[in-house]
């Protein structure tokens, strides 16, 4: 199931990347997939994302990114989570991010020419955004508790920073890998606050307009 989604995502990304007419310019669209790299309780699952960036010059740009991280319920829990919930009746913090949006500023001062046309760039990005979380009340073992369900669905303000590397193999197409750390404060059971730092790793195909 997971591999099928990955293949579908990659094929769809390739299809969009190579059939869209574009010419060299300062607007760059990205489409790809990301995974959550550091959640101890949830499996990393496919998260399609779309980004748009405007570059003022070769070294500076502003960007917006949206990512959908579908929750697959029980399938999202890893072996540790199953053991904690089913055997020990302990409730880890199950509050996956299902949607995310970010806006930020990108700096790309490190560049190297590869061959005649291709170019590689490394940069950093900083910014703010929003994250929508939906608590897994079954895993939290508080399905019938109104206090718990009051904060089941929440929007959070986030702040992020990260590293990106991209290869533009001609004036239209490229590929990028991003690693971002995104912070927000989660409210569980209406009363418990927990700061979360989620690390996302994503790979995008780039289109330059």
Partner 1 sequence: MQRTVFQLVILTAIVIPTSALADGNEDPSVLTETPTPAPEGEDTAGTERWVASGSIGRLWFTNSNTSFSNRATETTTVRLEVGRTIGRFSLAALGQVSHVNGEYWLAQSGTQATQGDSLILQLGISGRVRGNLGPLVGSVYADITAARVPLLMDQDWYQQEVVEESGMTFPMHEERGQILKHAGLGLGGALSLPLFDTGVSADAMVGVQWITGVDLAVQTQLGMSATF
Per CB under 8 A, the list member of 30, 45, 104, 152 interacting with partner 1 is 104
Among positions 169-188, residues that touch partner 1 (CB under 8 A) are: 170-171, 181, 183-185, 187
d(CA 157, CA 101): 10
| Closer by beta carbon to partner 1, 77 or else 178 | 178
Binding mask 35-74 for partner 1 (x = CB under 8 A): --------------------xxxxxx-x------------
Strand 60-68, strand 118-134: pairing: unpaired
What is the smallest separation between the CB atom of 128 and partner 1, expressed in angstroms? 6
**Strand ranges for 115-170 from DSSP E:** 118-134, 153-168
Per CB under 8 A, the list member of 82, 128, 143, 145 interacting with partner 1 is 128
Q: Please say whether the beta carbons of 44 and 36 come within 8 A.
A: yes
Q: Is 145 in the site for partner 1 (CB under 8 A)?
A: no
Q: Which two tokens stand for residue 12?
A: 């769809």
d(CA 95, CA 103): 23
Q: Which two tokens stand for residue 14?
A: 């390739």
Least Cα distance to 12 among 179, 161, 204, 192 occurs for: 204
Q: Which residues bind partner 1 (CB under 8 A)?
A: 24-26, 28, 55-60, 62, 104-105, 107-113, 116-119, 122-128, 147, 150-151, 157, 159-163, 168, 170-171, 181, 183-185, 187, 190-195, 197, 208
């Amino acid at each position: 199931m997971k591999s099928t989604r990955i293949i579908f995502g990659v094929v769809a990304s390739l299809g969009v990347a190579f059939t869209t007419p574009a010419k060299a310019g300062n607007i760059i669209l990205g489409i790809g997939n990301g995974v959550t790299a550091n959640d101890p309780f949830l499996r990393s699952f496919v998260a399609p994302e779309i980004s748009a960036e405007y570059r003022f010059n070769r070294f500076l740009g502003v960007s917006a990114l949206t990512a959908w991280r579908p929750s697959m319920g029980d399938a999202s829990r890893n072996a540790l989570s199953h053991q904690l919930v089913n055997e020990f009746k302990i409730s880890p913090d199950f509050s996956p991010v299902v949607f995310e949006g970010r806006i930020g500023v990108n700096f790309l001062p490190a560049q190297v020419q590869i061959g005649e046309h291709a170019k590689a760039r490394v940069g950093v990005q900083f910014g703010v955004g929003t994250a929508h979380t939906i608590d897994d009340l079954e895993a939290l073992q508080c399905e019938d508790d109104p206090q718990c369900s009051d904060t089941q669905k929440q929007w959070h303000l986030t702040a992020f920073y990260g590293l990106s590397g991209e290869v533009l193999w001609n004036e239209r197409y490229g590929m990028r890998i991003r690693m971002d750390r995104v912070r927000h404060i989660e409210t569980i059971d209406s009363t418990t606050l927990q700061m979360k730092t989620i690390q996302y790793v994503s790979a995008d195909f780039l289109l330059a307009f």
